[in-house]
């Protein structure tokens, strides 16, 4: 419940996702605009910038989970990710993520022909 209360929803334009079919495999490429702060970096005033990073990322195909990822602070800023899934044209691909501050985002797309 605590998680629900502190949740802020990030606009879906903060990420891009695309899925192209080659044969029976969809290649899914995505990028999420996110600072991925480690908590070890200092700002111009010499103050530590608090950690702010995505911890959980999932990709679903027609509401079935295909990828579940756990991320630490070692994933680069504005995370980029590619994966491959058995799929058909017009299958729905959904990306969702949750960060250490309880912020979350979600975006979806349809599998298109390459």
Determine the Cα–Cα distance for residues 111 and 107; give it in Å rounded to an integer.
13
Determine the Cα–Cα distance for residues 93 and 65; give it in Å rounded to an integer.
10
Handedness of CA 70, 24, 108, 28 (dihedral sign): positive
Determine the Cα–Cα distance for residues 72 and 91; give it in Å rounded to an integer.
30
Q: Which is nearer to other proteins, 80 or 112 (CB)?
A: 80
**Per rule CB under 8 A, count of chain residues that contact other proteins:** 48
> In a 3-state reduction of DSSP, which class is residue 8?
strand
Nearest approach, Cβ of residue 112 and other proteins (Å): 18
Per-residue binding letters, 44-83, with other proteins (x by CB under 8 A): -----------xx-xxxx-xxxxxxxxxxxxxxx-xxxxx
Q: Does 17 bind other proteins (CB under 8 A)?
A: no
Nearest approach, Cβ of residue 113 and other proteins (Å): 19
- φ, ψ (nearest 5 deg) of residue 60: -120, 150
Instruction: Tell me which residues touch other proteins (CB under 8 A).
Output: 1, 3-5, 7, 9, 25, 38, 40-42, 55-56, 58-61, 63-77, 79-87, 94, 96-98, 104, 106, 108
């Amino acid at each position: 419940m605590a998680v629900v209360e502190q949740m802020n929803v990030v606009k879906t334009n903060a990420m891009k996702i695309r899925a192209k079919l080659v044969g029976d495999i969809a290649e899914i490429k995505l990028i999420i605009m996110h600072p991925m702060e480690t908590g070890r970096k200092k700002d111009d005033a010499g103050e530590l910038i608090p950690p702010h990073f995505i911890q959980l990322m999932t990709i679903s195909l027609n509401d079935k989970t295909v990828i579940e990822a756990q991320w630490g602070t070692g994933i680069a800023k504005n995370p980029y990710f590619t994966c491959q899934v058995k799929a058909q044209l017009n299958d729905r691909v959904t990306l969702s993520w949750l960060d250490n501050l309880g912020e979350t985002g979600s975006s979806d797309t349809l599998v298109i022909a390459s």
